[in-house]
Structure 1
Amino acid sequence: MPQVWFRPYVWMDYRLALLFTLIIPLILLIWAFVQKVDGIQRLLIIYWRVASLLAITVYLMMGGLGISFISGLMARILIPISLWFWVDINDEIDYQPKSPLKLIFTSWRWAMTIYCILGIVGFAPFLGCAFSENALKNPGCSVWLEGPLMFKDYFHHNSKPAFLGFLGMIGLVIYVVYLSYFVFVKLGKQGRSATQ
């Protein structure tokens, strides 16, 4: 495969994504459950629902589907929105007494927001890969598929890419239906309150 100058940055992005979108929020969620900090628990559960689009994107990329570039960009847009959207949860977290959990959670929330914004800027130029017929042959597009294909080799080595892409499409359809229901039905009723 021809070398592209930004390959190290793509792999750095995947490593940062693993840290910021999986490892740290999982630790924070367990910590919040142990400490019984309801506001942080609820926000992290909302985060995991929204961030599931990243997992769907990985499966779409394993299948070599161009729509994965759109879903990847949308995940980077929706995640920071989900972390700051809820007025009642934000107030609950703000009024909690100072603690190491609150400090680390707040730091992660800001770091995650900055990471997603930088990711949007860095990933947006590759949105054209979603509409390219030869995206897999284009080194600039295919470099983004290397991480998911490595994941496939570790966890789904006997599965066909078409089947994994199909699973990703099913996940995407379910995600879009749930998001549409939330935006067009629930959001009008509950507004920016997560407790109703």
Structure 2
Amino acid sequence: MNLSLFESLVWTDYRLAVLFTVFIPLILLIWAFVQKADAIVHLLTIYWRVSSLLAITVYLMIAALPISFVAAFFARLLIPIALWFWVDLNEEIDDRAESPLKLSFTSWRWLITIYNGIGTLVQIPFLRCALMSKQDVLQDSYCRVWLAPPWGYKEYFHANSTPGFLGFLGIVALLFYVGCLSYFILVRLNRQGRSATGH
């Protein structure tokens, strides 16, 4: 693929990510909270916990850490799973009377599932970047393209911080995330299965 076209697609992807993974779910969470739609609030709370890996990925990419490409892949993969995994929440949402909130939430859930499904497939070829050294990532034109939007974010929000420090914060957050996910898979999942409420 032409590099300039690829750069344009990557920037478009980041802009779509801000819309679909930040602004829309934030609006839906506030709306669901006001409407006292507990199942939707619960599911969106789970979504925010899982999708925090996207934010962690941005900080890892600011430092050009190869592991950021693995984090990006799993962030895309885990979000749809988290949104459809819970049997009790799915049933409660399905049984909810039709309303603008339910329609908006359901539309967003399908949209972000498709978006992340495509994104997961797109990320597969770039897992090779995770096997490179940091220097090789910076020298590879196609791996480096993925780093440009996080660098733009860094200049806007963290202009006075070094990439190394922000990467360190990303590593600490990633370790915490992996610890929480491991606890869920090894302990909580065995105890409560696909019930988000544990009942």
User: Common fold, TM-score beyond 0.5?
Assistant: yes
For residues 33-48 of structure 1, the aligned pairs below 5 Å read 33-48=33-48
Q: Which runs of 5+ in 2 are unaligned?
A: none
For residues 95-174 of structure 1, the aligned pairs below 5 Å read 95-133=95-133, 134-174=136-176
TM-score, structure 2 normalization: 0.96
Q: What letter corresponds to residue 149 of structure 1 in structure 2?
A: W
TM-score, structure 1 normalization: 0.98
Matched residues in 2 for 1:40 and 1:5: separation? 38
Matched residues in 1 for 2:85 and 2:123: separation? 23
Question: What's the CA shift for 1:5?
Answer: 3.3
Question: What's the CA shift for 1:124?
Answer: 1.1
Q: Which runs of 5+ in 1 are unaligned?
A: none
8 Å contact from structure 1 (residues 87, 192) kept in 2? yes
For the pair 1:180 / 2:182, whether they are aligned, the reply is yes
Percent of aligned pairs sharing the same letter: 60
Matched residues in 2 for 1:3 and 1:50: separation? 32
Aligned length: 195
8 Å contact from structure 1 (residues 54, 72) kept in 2? yes
8 Å contact from structure 1 (residues 39, 89) kept in 2? yes
The 4+ residue runs of structure 1 with deviation greater than 3 A are 2-5
Question: What's the CA shift for 1:3?
Answer: 4.6
8 Å contact from structure 1 (residues 4, 139) kept in 2? no
- Report what 2:13 is aligned to: 13
Root mean square deviation, CA, Å = 1.0
